[in-house]
Chain A
């Protein structure tokens, strides 16, 4: 069965510092990969997704992620964070199945806290 592991439950960082949020998945078949952001008491918003092609994916708000098939990882990065990036971040995976619906498997989330 698929699973998604977000290696850090909380990541504190100072404003303007770089950050990496780690995500590993387990799957024996090809997958699609997503990162979502959730601000307090709100729904989730898509940051970026990897479907195929270039392994470096750029998303909104200056975030990017790199797909590493050999390490089954999809880590999220930002070179310089802002206070407004404080939120919870979820990594999610779905199987590539022709005609299938996209059942997303979510990680437990990483809470990013940006301090002034």
Chain B
């Protein structure tokens, strides 16, 4: 099973600032198989990024993903008030699919 470790656990920032979230895989991953999700309280996760760097439909371009092999990054260029949430990375490279433990982006 591939373990995904996200850091930091919590990111305290202000609107307008840049957020950088990290996801490290315990094994090498094909970039096709790394996704990022956003989850707000009481809501289901929402797909942001797939294939490590492709934005899902309707996702603003302030969200970007990068990385390869074992290290992946989600960047939010300028935080909007609605971006304060928990973010999860997820891998589809090896079954079972696994998620990181999440990074909370808070004000």
Asked if chains A and B come from one complex, the reply is no
